[in-house]
Amino acid sequence: MDLALENQVVIVTGGAKGIGAAIVELLAAEGAVPVIVGRNAQDNAAQLSRVCDAGGRALAITAELGETADCERAVRETVEQLGRVDGLVNNAGINDGISLSQGTTEQFLTSLRRNLVHYFDMARFCLPHLRATKGAIVNIGSKVAETGQGGTSAYAAANGGRNALTREWAVELLGDEIRVNAVIVAECWTPLYEKWINTLSDPQETLARIEARIPLGKRMTSSEEIANAVAFLLSPRSSHTTGQLLHIDGGYTHLDRALA
């Protein structure tokens, strides 16, 4: 299916690694122009090089998304260099383990800025341009908002906020014909996930135990599978889809645990 994304300018936060990188690479392969936004200039440049080497087009902007001024600058530079914004993928974030029993209020608030506030900032600064193009927003979220995990109050709260903002923006922007959806991730294999699992005493045993709980295929979701869903939600092929929380997780979040 042609997703009709040719020449569409799509900002992807955290687009240099993991899920964000897979989204950037798929969008470029579809003829879109992804804008990689993240704090690490070297990572951004490496991802830009990969896209260009594969025959695609992209732009890289170094920005600290926890700073509102950097979010504004990232959008402004995108428009200055590419002339428009057709889509926004809010993806950047980290499960930072700020818990109720050990965390402080200051840590909790810092985590919300790191994992939620920039979703609002990026959407706010993109809004005039998305109105002009009748574009789309896709928020990446986590099953932690719905299932809990233990030991990660701030990240769970941030993801609950992402889900709520997805529905709220879908309502608020109906008149602008801007579609807003979310892709919810559960157990997805990324470099960050691999780094975490390798800190454990028996990584392979833990990984096997996690995979055994995933109903469809007893395997982790791939970053490419998340990217496929994001590209569809950005494209006009999903022209009557808004306010949805789409779980790409092999049934992990909702199917009966007896299956595992």
Within 10 A of 97 (CB to CB), how many other CB atoms are there? 15
The position carrying tokens 């559960």 is: 186
pLDDT digits (tens, 9 = 90+) for 172-218: 999 999 999 999 999 998 887 888 788 888 889 988 998 999 999 99
The per-residue pLDDT for range 69-123, each reduced to its tens digit, is: 999 999 999 999 999 999 999 999 999 999 999 999 999 999 999 999 999 999 9
Per-domain residue ranges for the chain? 9-187+222-247
Q: For this structure, is 155 an active site residue?
A: yes
Q: Which is catalytic among the residues 119, 155, 193, 252? A: 155
CA distances from 27 to 11, 30, 44, 182 (A): 10, 5, 16, 17
pLDDT the model gives residue 260: 66
pTM of the model: 0.95
Which class is domain 9-187+222-247? Answer: alpha beta
Alpha-carbon span 15 to 17, nearest angstrom? 6
Strands (E), 76-162: 87-90, 136-142
